[in-house]
Structure 1
Amino acid sequence: MDASSPILLFDSGVGGLTVLAELRALLPQAPIIYAADMAGLPYGAKSEAEIAARVAGLLGRMAERYQPRLICIACNTASTIALGMVRDVLETPIVGTVPAIKPAAAMTQTGVFGLLGTEATIRQKYVDDLEREFAGGKKLLRYGANDLVTLAEAKLRGEKVDVHAVAEAARGLVLQARGNEIDTVVLACTHFPLLERELGEAFGPGVRFVHGAHGIARRVAQLVEGQPMTRTVPDRAVTTGSLENFEKVRGPLSQIGLDRLEVL
């Protein structure tokens, strides 16, 4: 294992920075490449076939180019759809992102909890299986809130995000039968924790939020434990979109140690 071999974090946009922040706390010495498929954003409204082909193709190219020691798909939509396919075609260890249904089911006091994700995520059999395994006797309500992705990206660019816009994007969750009993909400998109403050205002003080960023980072740390790590070049962020658009999030990227921005 080359000590300078990076960990590659992949997301459709900048939501995966919530995972990277947790990973930095556990592995500050790890060389990192953060890959954002800005040209493909948003994933939530795409078909399963489109997402699977795009993610597998991009990760195949990046695995060949960057020779990462591990790839983390820091995106619920990409993971629930393409994780199996990517693992089949790449020899690189892959860590996916799983909606935090298990801890949320254990936390709920009312027995009713919610899941906010993209439309593509909430309809996946993967989510059905998690619900069946961990939420027996509980009621899980799901809602596809694609607009929250756009709002989270805007917030990271430094734009003002109106809490009423966030509430409107998520209100379909509580409008369902028994929605007024929700006391715990799974944020099943890595973008959504960027809006946790606004979501807290929208849902009120009686609702707790759960997401998997820390658990994902912990799993990555376990898999690379004991491996030599040396940062020989600055960590970088790469994008499939234009560098001009990527520059709009240079501030947040630099704050988390991604000082080089490149086009894939």
Structure 2
Amino acid sequence: MVDTRPILFFDSGVGGLSVLAPTRALLRQAPFVYVADSAGFPYGTKTEAEIAARVPALLGRLAERYRPRLIVIACNTASTIALGAVRSALDLPVVGTVPAIKPAAQASVTRAIGVLGTDATVRQPYVDDLAARFAGDCLVLRHGSAELVTLAEDALRGTVAPPERYRAILAGLLDQPGGDRIDTIVNACTHFPLVADQLAAAAPRPLTFVDGSAGIARRIAYLTRDHEWPERAGPGRAVFTGAGAADDTLRPALARFGLAETESL
């Protein structure tokens, strides 16, 4: 029997595509289902209680429906709040995404890094712990931006925002006391790598932007190293929890990420 179980990626929107892309490059025969919780979007402005209640319950239903071999919570906000609860509830491997503070600290020359995420992510004790463990000798500044999530969603649909909007978001980090020392910024939301080029172009000076997508892809490949795959993966599927989310402006971008089929729940 050929094992056709997919790897299931989960995010509030399209941000998790930044993690899907390097995973597809490593696992070319793997079938993928990408789920965007468009009915619950955005997560970054929700309370911890709302996310902690919604994500494990929804992933439980998705696991029953799609029978994945592994789930990737391709969302920093959901991972920093609900990863433990999801792992406890499901009898299958679950990979989370957390802010790439360790590689940022390793890359920083000035010993000052910025963490750019959603409001919900940057205030999490999980981020405090990462900073203490891996960037204890660094100044770590944080800024939450719901607008940047929207800009990334719009960019994937072909809408070009003026550089001033990206510049203003970066100012939330760089204008803080000590922000003039920052040389490395963590894109601590999976949406943000989708607009990393726009952020770099709008920055007032050269900055290094890092995220954990490549490392997450390697982790997924390691966990599935002994798995059997179909000879051909077939088209990937994009699933949206809200009706009308996969409109005609988004389908070309989904196809570029190998998601040729779409459905709404």
Give the TM-score band, short-chain normalised: over 0.9
SS of match in other structure, 2:51? helix
In the alignment, what sits opposite 2:255?
A: 254
Structure 1 letter corresponding to 2:150 = T
Tell me which stretches of 4 or more aligned residues in structure 1 moved more than 4 Å: none
Secondary structure of the 2:166 match is: helix
CA contact (8 A) 1:113 1:141 kept: yes
Alignment partner of 1:248: what SS?
coil
User: Match of 1:259, SS?
Assistant: strand
The one-letter code of the counterpart of 1:44 is G
Paired residues of 1:145 and 1:170 also in contact (CA < 8 A) = no
Q: Structure 1 200/120 Cα, relative in aligned 2: closer, same or farther at 3 Å?
A: same
For the residues of structure 1 that align with 2:77 and 2:2, how far apart are their CA atoms? 31
TM-superposed deviation, 1:56? 0.8
Gaps (5+ residues) in structure 1? Answer: none
Within-5 A mapping of 1:131-146: 131-146=131-146
Q: Which residue of 1 aligns with 2:176?
A: 176
Q: How does 1:6-17 map onto structure 2 within 5 Å?
A: 6-17=6-17
Spell out, residue by residue over 1:20-42, the C-alpha distance to the aligned partner (whole angstroms, 9 max, x if none): 11001100100000000111111
8 Å CA contact 2:246, 2:262 repeated in 1:
no
* Corresponding residue number in structure 2 for 1:5: 5
Deviation at 1:146, TM superposition (A): 1.3
Given that 2:29 and 2:233 are in contact with CA atoms closer than 8 Å, whether structure 1 keeps it comes out as no
1:45 corresponds to 2:54: no
Moved more, 240-249 or 35-44: 240-249
State the partner residue of 1:73: 73
Paired position in structure 2 for 1:82: 82
**Deviation of residue 244 (structure 1)?**
5.4
Residue 19 (structure 1) aligns with: 19
Counterpart code for 1:80: T
Other-structure match for 2:228: 228
**TM-score scaled by length of structure 2:** 0.96
Q: Is the partner of 2:174 in helix, strand or coil? A: coil
Secondary structure of 1:85's partner? helix
Distance 1:235 1:106 in 2: 35
Please state how far the C-alpha of 1:76 moved relative to its aligned partner.
0.3
How much has 1:2 moved relative to structure 2? 5.7
CA contact (8 A) 1:241 1:263 kept: yes
The answer (yes or no) to whether the contact 1:73–1:94 under 8 Å persists in 2 is: yes
Identity over aligned residues, as a percent? Answer: 56
The alpha carbon displacement at 1:58 in A equals: 1.1
Counterpart for residue 98 of structure 1? 98
Separation in structure 2 between the aligned mates of residue 174 and residue 91 of structure 1, nearest angstrom: 43
User: Deviations along 1:210-238, whole A, 9 cap, x unmatched?
Assistant: 00110111101100012011157532000
Assess if the C-alpha contact under 8 Å between 2:30 and 2:233 holds in 1: no
1:47 to partner: Cα distance: 0.2
Deviation at 1:12, TM superposition (A): 0.6
Q: Report how far residue 92 of structure 1 moved.
A: 1.4
Q: Who is 1:202 aligned against?
A: 202
Give distance in 2, aligned partners of 1:246 and 1:83. Answer: 30
CA deviation map 1:135-189 (0-9, x unaligned): 1111100000111000000000011121111111232111110101100000000
C-alpha RMSD of matched pairs (Å):
1.4
Question: Unmatched 5+ residue regions in structure 2?
Answer: none
The answer to whether the 8 Å contact 1:239/1:246 transfers is no
CA distance in 2, matches of 1:113, 1:141: 6
Distance in 2, matches of 1:83 and 1:253, equals: 26
